[in-house]
Amino acid sequence: MAGALSTTFDQAEHSPGLQLWRVTHSWQAVMRRALAPHDLTHVQFVLLASLVWIDADGPVTQRALADHAGTDPMMTSQVLRALEAKGLVERRPHPDDSRARSLVATSVGVALANRANESVEAADREFFAPLGADLQAFAGELGRLVRPRA
């Protein structure tokens, strides 16, 4: 039959990959709306919030931030430049490694990360509300699918 897709699924909705694609795009649209008032893209928010989160543990390198956020190091560098231009992040000499730079969220960056995080968490609560009591189990199952970067 011309145009028929060769698949093991009897219905498109049974494909976990397709469902993940659909959910991801729906959730990303919700995140864009939640972050628009804060003038942050989603990746800018993730990196800024991650920096604020791990900054309490000591000097943060670009590599450590990328690892924590699960982002590509080159893309992380580009996004950090944008956050730096907005006055949200500073690069300082690393206290233990003269070749490295330490990343620090400015006071303005910390305040913005916290305001934006309130919006993101509220949007998440609304988006994931249909899961009810299954939410933590769902998050755990998603965690099983996270693969280390190659």
The pLDDT of 84-106, averaged and rounded, is 91
Instruction: Please report whether residue 33 resides in a domain.
Output: no
d(CA 102, CA 60): 5
Q: Is residue 58 part of a domain?
A: yes
Residue 18 lies in a domain: no
Residue 49 placed within a domain: yes
Best CA proximity match to 106, nearest among 51, 46, 59: 51
Specify if 14 maps to a domain: no
3: in domain = no
* Buried-state track 21-34, b at ≥16 Cβ within 10 A, e below 16: eeeeeeeeebbeeb
- Mean pLDDT value of segment 55-68: 87
What pLDDT, in 10s, does the model give residues 3-34?
688 989 988 888 999 999 999 999 999 999 99
- DSSP annotation of 90 reads E
Contact 103, 88 (CB under 8 A): no
For 25-44, the DSSP string reads HHHHHHHHHHHGGGT--HHH
CA dihedral sign, ordered 150, 143, 115, 92: negative
* Dist CA 114 CA 126 (whole Å): 19
pLDDT at 102 over 60: yes
Q: Are 51 and 105 in contact (CB under 8 A)?
A: yes
Whether 146 is covered by a domain: the verdict is no
CATH of the domain at 117: 1.10.10.10
Q: Chain-wide mean pLDDT for the chain?
A: 92
- pLDDT of 26 reads 97
Q: By residue range, what is the domain housing residue 51?
A: 41-131
How many structural domains does the chain have?
A: 1
Entry field: residues in the chain:
150
CB 115 within 8 A of CB 38: yes
**127-136 contacts: CB < 8 A, separation 24 or more?**
127/26, 127/27, 127/30
61 touches 100 (CB < 8 A): yes
